[in-house]
Structure 1
Amino acid sequence: MGDHKEHQPLRVGAAVRRRRRALELTLAAVAERSGLSVPFLSQIENDKARPSRSSLEKVADALRTTAVELLAAADPACSVDLVRADGTEPDFERRVRSLVRGHHQLHASEYTGDHDEGREFQHRNDELMYVADGAVEVEAEGRAYRLGRGDTLYLTGGVRHRWRATVPDTRIIVVAVAEHIEAVQDRSR
């Protein structure tokens, strides 16, 4: 595969624990479903034990997911990742550049110029918009906000919004809590 992160052991424990808690299952319930012992499952969750592929598959089955998903949601052990301004070619169709690589708790993108202003966004979790250059008009919950360079708009999870650049070469940074994170209690309950 040649993945440069191979030397970093993935900490799958936190992903297993998040998934188990999301399903409101006890370790005992997972042990019963997977055929693995409670102490072993506890060690997996605390990253004291590294499960074999077959053990991880048993855990994944018990949590109604897959080993691949659990590994994707795993945290690389203490990583620092630098994304250079010129390091990635932006997608010039949409002129958007991701500022965070991989599967993390935060997602961030830089938008340059305009994008499909008719598109309405609604994120599950909180989001921050920062105008690095230019000007933007944001419509959120029926109100219009005009943002200039250096202005910041914070939108809590669930707020419907759309935005458009009002001057050429506008650059905005959007940072959001990733969709897979259970950051907010489900308000619909």
Structure 2
Amino acid sequence: MPAQPASRTAPAAQSTAPDQDAVLRAGLGAAIRRLRKERGLTLVQLARLAELSHPFLSQLERGLTRPSMPSLHRIARALGTTQQALMVATAVSHPDTPASSVHLVRAGEGLPVSNSGGVARMLGAASYAWHPVEYTGAPPAFEEYYDHPGDEFLYLIDGEIEIDLQTFDGPRLHRLGPGDSICYPGGTPHRWRAVGAPEPIRILTVQSATEPHP
């Protein structure tokens, strides 16, 4: 008999529940605090390295606020990791998946991290060798470059974007539409922006993990 699909007992969530949001924020803050102490850094020292305020970092470590993707990128670089590796610390087991080998994320679940022009949402967990992230929205103009050690795959679901890559062979600019994808090696500075008609942008990236979960 063919296997039956897993039952879906609840409708897709449209937003993170307040109590779950607090748990996710606490998980992210604990991961940052643990790495900071392992690196022998004080809050003031990390704030200086990440070019962020000491009060903001203090609130972040206590789970009282959420960072943006740019600020999380600065924190991660100062700690010698990536923002995706920090974000997997917020992954929690879904009640529909009692098996520890399965990680389920419903629509609207996961800690939403604000990104220029939209929101980023971690879809993976620490036990996997890759970090999938969903981006909804994109900035209308290029902003700062991001780079990380893991190779990355990008798939454009909706909308149009231009992606600017500073590759080993020189700068490359590519325009992507729905269904287009691109891969680039770790260490490649990259950034993207929305182009074309004003319409929703949805992007899926999958980054290979190159280090243990913080």
Q: What TM-score, normalized by structure 2, do the two folds share?
A: 0.44
Q: Which has the larger radius of gyration?
A: 1
Q: What TM-score, normalized by structure 1, do the two folds share?
A: 0.49
